[in-house]
Every structure is written in C-alpha cells, then in structure tokens.
C-alpha cells in the first residue's frame, strides 16, 4: 500500500498530463511512455516553474468541478442522479473509496506537492508575485480539502520527511490558509524587476496582479464565513473587510479548461461518458420557476414537452430537464469558481448577521443586478441564501452555505440524512496510521 507522500509523487503524470500534452503536441499514450516528461516535481531542478504552474492550474480546475462538485450538486438537489454511481450518491449510498482519486490529486504534483516546488523556485528567484499566485492556489485547494473532510494532512503533507502525515484540525487549517492568503496579498502588491508572475501561462487572469489580489481577498472572506458559526460575529466583520477588496464585476475566477478534447469542461466530459446520468434537480427547478427567474433557461434545457421538470432524490424514469447544453456543459465552458456574485453575497449575509440590514440589501441587489434579475425592496437571510444557492449553481461552496444555515430547506431521500462530510477514504486509512477510520459525521465548523 502506497503512503500519501509516495502516491502523490506518482500522480504527477496524471495531474500535469494535460498541460504537458498541450504544450508538446504529443498524444496521451506517447506521454505515458516517453522519458522526456518523467520529471520529479519534488526536485525543483527537474520541473520549471511554468510547467508546474500549468499542471497546477489544470488540477485546480479539475478539483473544483470533478465528482465532488457533481455529488454536491446532487446532495443539494440542484441536480439529480439517474443511474449508478450518481443515483447511489443521491440516495446517500457512498462507497468508502468513491472519492479517493480527488483526495490524492489534492496532494499530487498538480496539487500541494507541485505547489511546494513552485513556491520554492519562485521564492529563490525573488518573484514574489509568482509565489503569491501559488499561495492563492494552495489556499483554494487546501481550503476545499478542509471544507470537505474537516481535519486533513497539511503541515506535514507532501513532504517526504513525513510519509504518514498527521491530521491538522480543521480550524488550524483555516487559520493557516488565511495567513497564507494575507502573505499572498502582500507579496502580490510588491513591485520589483523580478516580480513577473505566471504571465501568459495564467489561463484565468492573464497574470494580472490586481485580479489575483481581489481573488485572494474573496477567498479570505469565504473562509472567515466558514468559521463564523463557531467563532461568532468577529468572523462576519473580518469577512466584510476582506470582501470590500474582493472580486469586482468581470473579475470572476474561472476554470482553465479549453474547447479541446484534452482540456474540456469536466461536466462536459461527464455528460459525454455518462449521458443523462445527471439531470435537473427539483429543488432548484422549483426555486427558479417560483421566482420566474430567467436563469432557469440558462442552467437547464426544457424536456421533450418543452417544460422544465426536475427529479427528486432517487426519482428516475421521467422526462426531466437536462443541464444546459448550449453553455453550462459545453466543451469549452469555463466554470465559475470564485465570483463577484459570491463576494457580494458574502457581504450581504455577513451584514445581515451583524444587524446591518440596509447594507445587506445593497450587496444583495448589487449581485442581483449583475445577474440580470430584479432587485428587491427588502431582504431576509432566506432571500440572501436562496440567491446564493441559485447563483452558485454547480459550485462546491453551496454545500458549505447550506451546512452553515440550513437554507434552503431540503427534503432528504427516503427520510435519510444528507451527507455533511465525505469520509476518509479506506485506501488512505490503511496507508496512514494517523487517519482514524472514516471520521465523524460532521466537521468541526458544521453547526
């Protein structure tokens, strides 16, 4: 059985393959057999910063849109599974290694292992902008790990000195990445002749420092919100302050996929392999229809009777609407990951929770105006969270919002319990003595 440190080293090929193949023009089979590309990313002399960055941004895109995001869409009833494994997940029948691939890839050469190498290289050459961009990617990846699994290996992870890395408590992980993001902002604000950053290798922002700084601020606001239910009003204040410098219209952080077979949107790839295994979920369809929300036709296609119909969890065999084939699961669609909508709705929720209802309404209407939906004259917490549930369609963050607020109210399948975390995977439990079985039903920050 391979330990996490050994496994993540081996997964560099899988994590960086798309970037390397795209750059070289070779096919997948040639890539896997060619010694030209067998570099050890833990050795900074064997992989350039740019190649590391290319692999990392593709892996980040994949981790934000893979089976975890698809499962969350089903659990949150924005989507509905129709056939195994998606139907099983909607009925909360989840295998103990169903998410082992994503777990390992968070730590791989396209994940934390590669990020450590990239940070080492860029720090050594005095490129604080590049290091700051790497820190932002690290915070997004590790923050997502903590969102999903709670206590996770971090301080000792992707380090050959610790083949069985310890679990860091979820709160400690959030504290660490909040500090990492603050350092990233300082680094990216610095000027100097060696501060070049990723430049043209940056598929999301084209290397523009201001956009990266805004992303870092919105991520800080996101993680302060993930602490608020446990640590109280001070976290709402911190989120508001961070979001004030967060993402603005036109500055959304999106996936790095392209309209090519090797770099297609993962939702498109899923639909290509598992055609109509995932359809519209009734909860989101009903929410959109009840509000006469124009996003209904943006997110979904009508069924054969030209109606928008969603499935309940476990419901199969009907003529249900599919995910929108014109845009949302188009081959080249770049999925929004961290957005102006999220930033404004963080402000709205935090202002409301601290008693500033007028400021909350302003932020909510800023977001609704940008989304092209009518503004409101009054706003409740329910209004804010349902808007976020709607605007962040297909985004993992919807799960964190729901666990924090229980909004919207969702009816579980067959009286069951909607998953509130993903268990530690059996293969990793067997490999790492520091991981205590499947773990708890809820993470520390889940009220």
Q: Is residue 382 part of a domain?
A: yes
Strands 79-81, 278-280: pairing is antiparallel
DSSP string, 163-180: SSPPPBPHHHHHHHHHHH
Give the per-residue pLDDT at 261.
74
H-state helical runs in 232-354: 233-243, 266-273, 282-290, 296-299, 340-353
Q: Convert the pLDDT of each residue in 146-198 to its tens digit.
A: 999 999 999 999 999 999 999 999 999 999 999 999 999 999 999 989 999 99
Contact 298, 327 (CB under 8 A): yes
Give the per-residue pLDDT at 46.
40
Give φ, ψ of 322 to 5 degrees: -95, 160
Give φ, ψ of 84 to 5 degrees: -60, 140
Q: Show Cβ contacts of residue 378 under 8 Å, excluding neighbours closer than 6 positions.
A: 361
Pairwise CA distance, residues 89 & 86, whole Å: 5
Give the per-residue pLDDT at 19.
35
Q: How many percent of the chain have pLDDT more than 90?
A: 86
3-state secondary structure at position 373:
coil
DSSP letter (8 states) at residue 279 = E
Q: How far is CA 168 from the centre of its chain?
A: 20
Contact 196, 129 (CB under 8 A): yes
What would the mean pLDDT of 410-414 be, rounded to a whole number? 98
Give the per-residue pLDDT at 45.
37
Contact 170, 128 (CB under 8 A): no
Q: Convert the pLDDT of each residue in 389-402 to its tens digit.
A: 999 999 999 999 99
Omega before residue 402 within 30° of 0, cis: no
Q: Reply yes or no on whether the pLDDT at 237 is more than 80.
A: yes
Pairwise CA distance, residues 236 & 221, whole Å: 8
Total domains present in the chain: 1
Q: Reply yes or no on whether the pLDDT at 18 is more than 50.
A: no
Lowest mean pLDDT segment, chosen from 326-330, 344-348, 383-387: 326-330
Pairwise CA distance, residues 180 & 185, whole Å: 9
Q: Show Cβ contacts of residue 201 under 8 Å, excluding neighbours closer than 6 positions.
A: 50, 53, 54, 57, 207
Pairwise CA distance, residues 435 & 157, whole Å: 13
Q: Reply yes or no on whether the pLDDT at 71 is more than 80.
A: yes
Pairwise CA distance, residues 137 & 308, whole Å: 37
Give the per-residue pLDDT at 200.
92
Contact 198, 133 (CB under 8 A): yes
Q: Reply yes or no on whether the pLDDT at 413 is more than 70.
A: yes
Pairwise CA distance, residues 51 & 114, whole Å: 10
What is the average pLDDT value for the chain, to the nearest integer? 90
Q: How many percent of the chain have pLDDT more than 70?
A: 89
Give the per-residue pLDDT at 80.
98
Give the per-residue pLDDT at 37.
27
Q: Reply yes or no on whether the pLDDT at 14 is more than 80.
A: no
The residue among 265, 317, 353, 352 whose CA lies nearest residue 64 is 265
Pairwise CA distance, residues 232 & 155, whole Å: 26
Give the per-residue pLDDT at 11.
34
Q: Is residue 169 part of a domain?
A: yes
Q: Reply yes or no on whether the pLDDT at 219 is more than 70.
A: yes
Cβ count within 10 A of residue 397: 23
Instruction: Give whole-number Cα distances, 215 to 41, 155, 403, in Å.
Output: 26, 23, 23
Cβ count within 10 A of residue 69: 25
What would the mean pLDDT of 91-116 be, rounded to a whole number? 96
Pairwise CA distance, residues 438 & 59, whole Å: 25
Q: Is residue 360 part of a domain?
A: yes
Q: Is residue 371 part of a domain?
A: yes
Please give the structure tokens belonging to residue 124. 């050594």
Pairwise CA distance, residues 29 & 147, whole Å: 35
Q: Reply yes or no on whether the pLDDT at 229 is more than 50.
A: yes
Q: Is residue 314 part of a domain?
A: no
Q: Is residue 320 part of a domain?
A: no
Give the per-residue pLDDT at 204.
87
Give the per-residue pLDDT at 47.
62
Q: Reply yes or no on whether the pLDDT at 248 is more than 90.
A: yes
What would the mean pLDDT of 361-365 be, rounded to a whole number? 98
The residue among 159, 158, 151 whose CA lies nearest residue 59 is 158
Q: Reply yes or no on whether the pLDDT at 15 is more than 60.
A: no
Domain extent at residue 139: 4-260+334-408+416-431
Cα four-point dihedral sign 344, 345, 351, 356: positive
Q: Reply yes or no on whether the pLDDT at 23 is more than 70.
A: no
Pairwise CA distance, residues 363 & 347, whole Å: 6
Q: Reply yes or no on whether the pLDDT at 43 is more than 70.
A: no
* CATH number of the domain within which 183 lies: 1.25.40.390
The residue among 105, 113, 106, 118 whose CA lies nearest residue 198 is 118
Q: Is residue 288 part of a domain?
A: no
Q: Is residue 277 part of a domain?
A: no
């Amino acid at each position: 059985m391979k330990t996490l440190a050994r496994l993540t080293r081996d997964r560099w090929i899988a994590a960086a393959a798309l970037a390397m193949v795209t750059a070289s023009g070779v096919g997948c089979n040639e890539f896997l057999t060619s010694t030209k590309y067998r570099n050890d990313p833990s050795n900074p002399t064997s992989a350039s910063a740019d190649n590391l960055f290319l692999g990392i941004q593709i892996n980040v895109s994949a981790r934000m849109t893979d089976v975890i995001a698809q499962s969350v869409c089903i659990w949150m009833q924005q989507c509905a599974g129709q056939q195994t494994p998606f139907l099983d997940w909607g009925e909360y029948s989840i295998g103990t290694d169903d998410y082992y691939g994503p777990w390992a890839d968070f730590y791989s050469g396209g994940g934390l292992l590669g990020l450590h190498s990239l940070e080492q290289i860029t720090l050594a050459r005095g490129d604080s902008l590049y290091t700051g961009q790497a820190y932002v990617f690290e915070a997004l990846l590790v923050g997502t790990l903590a969102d999903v699994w709670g206590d996770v290996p971090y301080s000792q992870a992707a380090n050959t000195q610790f083949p069985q890395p310890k679990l860091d408590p979820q709160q400690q992980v959030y504290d660490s990445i909040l500090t990492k993001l603050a350092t990233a902002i300082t680094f990216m604000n610095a000027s100097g002749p060696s501060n070049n950053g990723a430049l043209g290798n940056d598929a999301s922002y084209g290397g523009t420092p201001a956009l990266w700084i805004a992303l870092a601020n919105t991520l800080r606001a996101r993680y302060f919100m993930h602490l608020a239910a446990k640590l109280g009003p001070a976290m709402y204040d911190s989120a508001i302050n961070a979001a004030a410098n967060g993402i603005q219209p036109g500055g959304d952080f999106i996936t790095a996929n392209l309209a090519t077979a090797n770099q297609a949107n993962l939702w498109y790839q899923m639909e290509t392999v598992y055609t109509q295994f995932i359809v519209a979920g009734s909860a989101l369809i009903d929410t959109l229809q009840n509000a006469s929300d124009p996003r209904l036709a943006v997110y979904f296609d009508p069924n054969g009777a030209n109606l928008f119909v969603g499935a309940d969890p476990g419901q199969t065999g009907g003529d249900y609407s599919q995910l929108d084939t014109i845009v949302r699961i188009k081959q080249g669609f770049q999925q929004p990951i961290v957005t102006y909508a999220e930033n404004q709705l963080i402000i709205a929720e935090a202002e409301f929770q601290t008693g500033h209802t007028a400021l909350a309404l302003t932020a909510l209407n800023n977001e609704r105006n940008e989304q092209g939906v009518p503004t409101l004259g009054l706003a409740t917490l329910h209004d804010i969270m349902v808007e976020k549930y709607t605007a962040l369609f297909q985004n993992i963050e919807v799960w964190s919002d729901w666990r924090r607020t229980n909004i919207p109210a969702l009816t579980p399948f067959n009286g069951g319990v909607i998953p509130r975390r993903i268990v530690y995977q059996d293969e990793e439990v067997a490999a790492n003595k520091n991981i205590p079985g499947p773990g708890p039903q809820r993470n520390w920050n889940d009220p």
